[in-house]
Structure 1
Amino acid sequence: MNHTEIGEIDQRFLIALFEKTSGNPAAEASMYGIGLDLGLDRDRSKQVAENLIGWELIEIRTLAGSIAITTGGVDQVQKEEKRTGASDDIVFELSNGPTLKEPVCKRIDQILTKMKVQAGNLGLDLDTLTEYVADLKTIESQLLSSRPKTAVVKACFLSIQDILEKAEASDSLLLVKKMLGK
């Protein structure tokens, strides 16, 4: 099977491993932990990992289920991000429509994952950190809705923008500003 033809769950698993290890082939993660994050049971996690191992996109590191992404896996994720417009270099602007479309929701979810990881490194006081996390969770809850409200998501990103400006988090701030059309 061609790498470009891997299934959606395989691709999501690979992306989750990429994000968990920051794309570092030397870093390891649990195949079962990644599967659990994606809502997969142990057997399905193992099956997906075996597929990706067969395509040489990941490799097994321990018999307990520790895996690592290969350079081929990193290339696959980056190629897929470019194809779908999901990389940070290809930023979208939130529409003015009442609800968000599925591709936009997927991209926002990817951005939220990065922002959650970053939260502890922003040097925020407790009140500001609580506000930041609440905004992220509000956006996350909107993405779970069958009709995620654009206005709610925009309001949260405006609040996050203020927090990122004060924290001088330039990379994330630039991303948020582009989404807001600024």
Structure 2
Amino acid sequence: MTIEDEELTTFLLELHRATGGDPGAQASMHAVGGVIGMDKQHAGKVAEELIGKGWAEVRTLSGGIGITAEGLEAARAAGGAAPAAGGAVLGKGPVLDTADRETVAALLDQVRATVAALKPGYTTLEEMVLDIKTLEVQLLSPKPKTAVVKAVLASLRAALQTNGGREAAQRIGETTGE
């Protein structure tokens, strides 16, 4: 199976990375497109093409998509690496390195998609959104603090576990080494 269009390939590989190659995971099509420099409208069009090819599927009406088995095959044929067993774990240094930043960014994609699908109370939703924003701000810093990121992820993990986001909470635990 080959992919003709370079743009489709780039989007598919980013979806593969954002979902960790897990057909059960989902990511925002807009976030996937944003990572590779697409605006929301264009990302939606490219995602529709992937869905049409059977490489992705709609998960939520708000733009959540997942990669299919055929999409995994196509991504691997295009150079996408198979997901590492156990996933990436944040380093122990005081500041996040490049790999840690990428890990947190991918984790944030999954958390955003999960939070969008949940129906927690207003206060809990507000807490999770503020935690997400705190992580986003840390990633903007030239020296994002590992301790801050881990503390905020622990807060998100607790909120997700009690509100139906167990899969995302488990991934946070794996990423933080808990």
Contact 2:138 2:145 survives alignment (8 Å): yes
Structure 1 match to 2:61: none
SS of the equivalent of 1:80 reads coil
Aligned residues: 152
SS of the equivalent of 1:146 reads coil
Q: Deviation string for 1:62-118 (max 9, x for gaps)?
A: xxxx975647653243562426x4xxx532322221111112211221111111111
What displacement does 1:127 show? 1.0
Structure 2, unmatched stretches of 5+, are: 24-28, 56-68
Residue number among 106, 114, 118 corresponding to 1:118 in the alignment: 114
- Please give the residue correspondences for 1:1-182 in structure 2 after superposition, counting only pairs within 5 Å: 12-16=10-14, 38-40=36-38, 68=53, 70=55, 73-77=71-75, 80-82=80-82, 85=84, 89-182=85-178
SS of the equivalent of 2:109 reads helix
Identity %: 25
Contact 1:59 1:69 survives alignment (8 Å): no
Contact 2:31 2:109 survives alignment (8 Å): no
Structure 2 match to 1:55: none
Distance 1:131 1:33 in 2: 21
Distance 1:13 1:146 in 2: 27
Contact 1:82 1:90 survives alignment (8 Å): no
Q: 1:93 to 1:127 in 2, by over 3 A?
A: same
Distance 2:163 2:170 in 1: 13
Q: Which residue type is aligned with residue 129 of structure 1?
A: L
Q: Which residue type is aligned with residue 77 of structure 1?
A: A
Q: 1:123 to 1:34 in 2, by over 3 A?
A: closer
Contact 2:94 2:146 survives alignment (8 Å): yes
Aligned Cα root-mean-square deviation (Å): 4.1
Q: Deviation string for 1:18-52 (max 9, x for gaps)?
A: 669x97xxxxxx9x9975663358xxx9xxx7xxx
Distance 2:153 2:173 in 1: 9
TM normalised by structure 1 equals 0.61
